[in-house]
Every structure is written in C-alpha cells, then in structure tokens.
Amino acid sequence: MQRKMGEKRKEGSRGSTRSGEVRRGTRGSSRPRNRTGGRDAAGTRGRRSSGARVIQLDQRRAAVQRGDVEGAVGRSSTGNAALTAGHRRLRIVAVAFVVVGLFLGGRAVQINVADDEHYQAFAAEQNTALAAQQPVRPRGSILSADGRELATSLEAARVVATPYQVEDPETAARALSRVLGPETGQSAAEIEALLTARGADGAASGYSVVASGIEPATAEKVGELGIEGVAVVRDPVRTYPEGSLASQLTGHLGNYGEPFGGVEARYDKVLGSGEDVSLTLDTAVQQELEKALEATVEENDAGSAVGLVMRVEDGAIVALANTPGYDNNRFDKAPLEAQRDRVLTDPYEPGSTYKAFTVAAAIEEGAVTEDSTFVVPDHISVADRVIHDSMPHETKIMAPGDVLKESSNVGAIQVGQALGGRKLHEYIRRFGFGETTGVDLWGEDPGDVPAYEDWSGSSIGTMPMGQGLTVTPLQLASGYAAIANGGRRITPHVRERETPAPPGPRVISEETSAIVRGMLQGVVDEGSGHFAQIPGYTVAGKTGTSQKVDPETGTYGDEYVASFIGFAPASDPEYVALIAVDDPEATYWGEIAAAPAFRKVMSFTLGYFNVPPDAVSGETGQ
C-alpha cells in the first residue's frame, strides 16, 4: 500500500477511542523509496657485531654448524671438499625454489589484479567450450493452475569479444553487422567501437559485450564467421508472458540470474535445476481480482489496494494481488513500493474484522453463548479512555450475533471483558496472530501482538475490537479460514502439493465454528455487510475500518484502511476472500469501499469453479 501498513494503527473499527464522534460518510480532507615483492632469499650470514653477546654451544654441535668437521669426524680434505660442494648445491636449490616461488606469487597477483580483464576473457572462452560439451537445462517455468506460463525462459545468446585478440576490428565489424544488424539494428561502426574497447589503463580490453538476447539462429551464424576473439555464449532470456498479472507473487529474475521476490526467489533452486513449478493460482480468478482492485482504487480515489482468494480447507491461494502492480518484463522501471507483496509484508490494525475472533473465543470458552445478552450504550469507559460506537444510539440489548451484525465496539469490549484479557490473548495467538503463517513465499511479516504482560489498562478495551495489534492480510484470511472450515488452522501455500497436508491444529470446535459462521452470515444478510450479498449463495463476512498512524507525529491521522473479508457459501464454505483498500478518499467505510469488490470477485470464483448455489427461496442471497 502507498504507506506501509506495517505501522501501528489506532481505532480499527468505525468508532474512536477519543471523545467525540466519528461520523459515517465521506472525508473532505485531501491526502496530506600492487603487486607485492618478496624479500631477498639469497642473503648470507653477516658478521657478528663487536658488541654482540656470544652464547657457547656444545663443541661438536658448533663444529658441525660451522662446517668444520675436524672436531666431529676427523680432518679429511676430501671430506671437506665433498661437504662444501654439497652445501653449495643446497644453497643453489634453495635459491632456485625461492626465485620460482617469488615469480609464481607475482604472476598470481598479476593475474588477479593487472590482467583481470584478460582472465575474464579466458574464463569466458573456457566456459563456452564447457557449455558446448555439456548442455545446461533451461530454468524451469512457473505455471498457473490452469496451465498458463507466468514465467519461462527463451533460448538466446550473447556475443562477446576479447578486443586484444581481434586482429582486424574493422573487417570483423563489417562481417558481424551483416549478421547482427537485421536483429539488433547495430551498425558496423557501433560494433567496431565494441571490438576496440579499452580498459581503464588504456590498453585493449579483455572483455566486451557486442550483443545480447540474440536468437539462436543468429548466434549460429555469428559462430560460423570464425572471427578470432569473438565468441557466442548461451544466455537464456527470462520472460513473463502474462505481463503484469500476479507480478509480485511471481517475482522476477534479474539479468545475471539473481531472483527478486515471489516464486522466483522462493523456488530458485528448483527452477534453476530445470524443474517447472506449478502453482495453485488460477489466472482467470487472478484477472478478476486485479480488475476489481483497480476499479476500487479508482472509484474510491484510494492510494492502493490488496486482495486475496484462498481455499478454506487447505490454504491453497487461488489469487493474490496488489494494486498498483507492475510488468515483470519491465522490472527495472517498477517503483520499489510496487514490487513489495503487501499481502505478506504490510501488517495493519484489523479493526472490526477482528471482532469475529473475540466472539469465537468467548463462545469456545463458555464465557458467553449465542443467546447471551448485553446492555450496550453507545460509549464505554475503559481505564483512561472513553470508547464510542461508530454512530450515536440509544442503549440497546444485544446478543453476540448483534454485536457482529452492527459492528458495535462497546458490545465487542463487553464480550472481551466477559472472556478476560489473558484468555483473549491466548486465543489471539492460537488463531496464529503474532507469528508467520508458514506460506511458501519469502518476506512474510509476523505482525505485532503485545505480550499479555505488556498490556495496559485500556488493552481489554482496544484488543477485542481489533486495535493495539497488527496483522497481515494473509494472516487475517488464514484466521477466517479456520472459522469457516470447522475450526482448524491452515497453512497458506502457492505451490501445488502432490499430496494433501495433514489437518492443522484445532483452534475452536466445529460447534463454535458453525455458530460464528451463522453470525457472520447475519452480518451480510441483515447488517453492515449487505453490499457483499451474492444472488443464489449464502455469504458470511465482516467489515472493517482502521485508522493509520501518521509516521511523522506518531499519532492517529486522517488515513484509513477500509476492508471486507468473508467466505462462501456460508452453509458449506469453499473460498475465503479479502479486499483491503488503503487510504480511500471517497469513503472509509469497509461496507462501501471494499464489500462491492468482494462481491464481484467471490461471485466470479463460485461460478468459475461450479460451486452449486445454496441459498433457498426467501433467503437474502436469493
């Protein structure tokens, strides 16, 4: 999102922790990346200075060390001559070893420092020869679930030159231009300049790229010219046939084989071995999601938006999008902000979308039942704060389902107080918040869940309604999947699994799951989520609006994240989807800014995958 959602936010619901009122509607305010040498190895023993201290040695040992063998083995002149000659030979051999060592050491430095370009050219020639003998498998493709190539490698070549080896650059350039020109548009003069390139020392360069991305047929013709000092190197080109589709999830492979983000980075070793990677992502749903996000950003004059569609049973990601996106074929032109997969990397305060977890935890623990009632005014004092509902209202009697349906802050706080802070914190962690989901993509942020010991007096007032903690869009979708699928956590994934994963840990019972599903269906049928209704299907979900922290002042500003998350069919959930809109100017209410996009995407997904309608006559979904 335009401003990183990972910053701490304030009131995530449609209410406020400040005194005063937050009014429903639109906002009028505007939005306020050298060679070294060796020492002389032939030095002789010097004279002892007159002041030197003499240390007496054993006479026999001293005689041997002086070369005087009389005291040791007799005074034979023949022996003296033989020994002296032997010592001379030893000295000569020692000197020879030192000289050779110095020469080799100096030459090594020369190769590494002075002749670096020449060495590169030599290495390139050797690598080219090796490549010709041992063909390398091209990098594997990234495939969507419906068989479309999101990334693939095309065979191509690079023409390189070793300028100091090219004897007649002018003639060579003319020959090369006749072969390369039609494809690259290079003239003979331009090629000659590359063939005569010089290094920083002014000498002919040892390595120069003449052309890259050359078609194999053209490369073969270059090789047939047989120009000394010119070689053809295999240089596959990574291309992204679907352009900007799922760009952040796919990731990018750089010109020198370095992966940047997404599947390209996570499965670099697999792809590099020549194996294809098949994804759970479906391009049709992905296109629908991206189209809906683009329209939402435009209609609400928003900074950005993210979205996600996932199977509730196993966490398979069917679509994942960030708007604005970018084209991986023009990666170097993409802003850093657009390259980040914000579904994984940008935590934010979930606001009212979190209230479903508060209610689920309280029901699971028996702190409340679906028939429990609460006396709910439009504001409540918690420690040093006064927290309001989104709109002023008379005191009401609410059951937990009503709390969700009307998205009451005060009601959610009362449910949280009935559960208790320690148990509430326990369920926050049990649903997976404050830790990564385990998705098979790099860069996931765990969000921020304060330890219970660090809670303040007002935390029991803010946590139940989704403030004071941060989650990523992916974490939120994973949590809702657990509510939808009968109470078990799932591990989101983008690579298709060969075998199903074992069931995840249970968070809530199937009974509690069914109760909360029904309550969330009420939100869509009769409450704040009515814009998410889909004809023929029952839909369950929740709206959310959260304030963002101004990074300059550290206080809550006038920017919001409007969101809607839900699943369908509510009676037997198949898919969960999330839409989060960053800094919408037209309106910051989730039911207006995000729910319509959810309806478009979920409606398309259900129809595309032939999910049977489940709404009976008379139900709101009809």
Do 403 and 297 share a domain, yes or no?
Answer: yes
Cβ-defined contacts of 182-191 (< 8 Å, 24+): 183/214, 183/215, 183/218, 184/211, 184/214, 186/211
Return d(Cα 574, Cα 569) in angstroms, integer: 6
Do 226 and 342 share a domain, yes or no?
Answer: no
Q: What percent of the chain has pLDDT over 70?
A: 77
Do 323 and 225 share a domain, yes or no?
Answer: no
Comparing 80-94, 254-268, 570-584, the range with the smallest average pLDDT is: 80-94
User: Is residue 51 a part of any domain in this protein?
Assistant: no
Answer yes or no: are the C-beta atoms of 144 and 281 closer than 8 Å: yes
User: Is residue 513 a part of any domain in this protein?
Assistant: yes
The CATH number of whichever domain residue 177 belongs to comes to 3.90.1310.10
User: Is residue 389 a part of any domain in this protein?
Assistant: yes
User: Is residue 265 a part of any domain in this protein?
Assistant: no
Q: What is the amino acid identity at position 119? A: Y
Residues in the chain: 622
Sign of the alpha-carbon dihedral angle for 315, 321, 322, 327: positive
The pLDDT of residue 56 is above 70? no
**Residue 551: per-residue pLDDT:** 73
Structure tokens at 369: 């039942």
The CATH number of whichever domain residue 493 belongs to comes to 3.40.710.10
**Residue 552: per-residue pLDDT:** 78
Do 191 and 292 share a domain, yes or no?
Answer: no
Do 212 and 320 share a domain, yes or no?
Answer: no
Q: Which pLDDT band holds residue 135 (cuts at 50, 70, 90)?
A: low
pTM of the predicted structure, to 2 decimals: 0.77
Return d(Cα 301, Cα 86) in angstroms, integer: 95
**Residue 518: per-residue pLDDT:** 98
Structure tokens at 299: 């209609």
3-state secondary structure of 253: strand
User: Is residue 148 a part of any domain in this protein?
Assistant: no
CB burial of residue 546 (10 Å; 0-12, 13-18, 19+): buried
The pLDDT of residue 266 is above 80? yes
Do 491 and 582 share a domain, yes or no?
Answer: yes
Contacts of 475 (CB under 8 A, 6+ apart): 347, 432, 433, 437, 447
Q: What is the mean pLDDT of residues 561-574?
A: 98
Return d(Cα 312, Cα 286) in angstroms, integer: 17
Which residue shows structure tokens 């005087």? Answer: 68
CB burial of residue 128 (10 Å; 0-12, 13-18, 19+): middle
Do 227 and 295 share a domain, yes or no?
Answer: no
Structure tokens at 404: 């969700």
Do 469 and 403 share a domain, yes or no?
Answer: yes
Q: What is the amino acid identity at position 385? A: R
Do 455 and 527 share a domain, yes or no?
Answer: yes
Return d(Cα 485, Cα 505) in angstroms, integer: 12
Q: End of a domain among 203, 235, 267?
A: 235
Residue span of the structural domain in which 186 resides? 156-235
Task: Quick: pLDDT tens for 496-554.
Answer: 999 999 999 999 999 999 999 999 999 999 999 999 999 999 999 999 999 887 777 77
User: Is residue 77 a part of any domain in this protein?
Assistant: no
Contacts of 616 (CB under 8 A, 6+ apart): 622
User: Is residue 48 a part of any domain in this protein?
Assistant: no
Q: Which pLDDT band holds residue 579 (cuts at 50, 70, 90)?
A: very high
The pLDDT of residue 419 is above 60? yes
Structure tokens at 284: 């049709």
The pLDDT of residue 45 is above 50? no
Do 358 and 495 share a domain, yes or no?
Answer: yes
User: Is residue 311 a part of any domain in this protein?
Assistant: yes
Q: How far is CA 218 from CA 66, 136, 152, 161, in A?
A: 76, 20, 21, 16
**Residue 556: per-residue pLDDT:** 76
**Number of domains observed in the structure of the chain:** 2
Mark out the alpha helices in 230-328 (DSSP H runs). Answer: 247-250, 262-266, 268-272, 283-299
**Residue 136: per-residue pLDDT:** 63
The pLDDT of residue 140 is above 90? yes
Do 291 and 391 share a domain, yes or no?
Answer: yes
CA–CA–CA angle 108, 112, 113 (5° rounding): 115
Task: Quick: pLDDT tens for 60-118.
Answer: 333 333 334 333 333 344 444 444 444 455 455 444 554 445 444 444 434 333 344 44
The partner residues of 154 in beta bridges, in order of sequence, read 237
Return d(Cα 254, Cα 331) in angstroms, integer: 9
Do 311 and 421 share a domain, yes or no?
Answer: yes
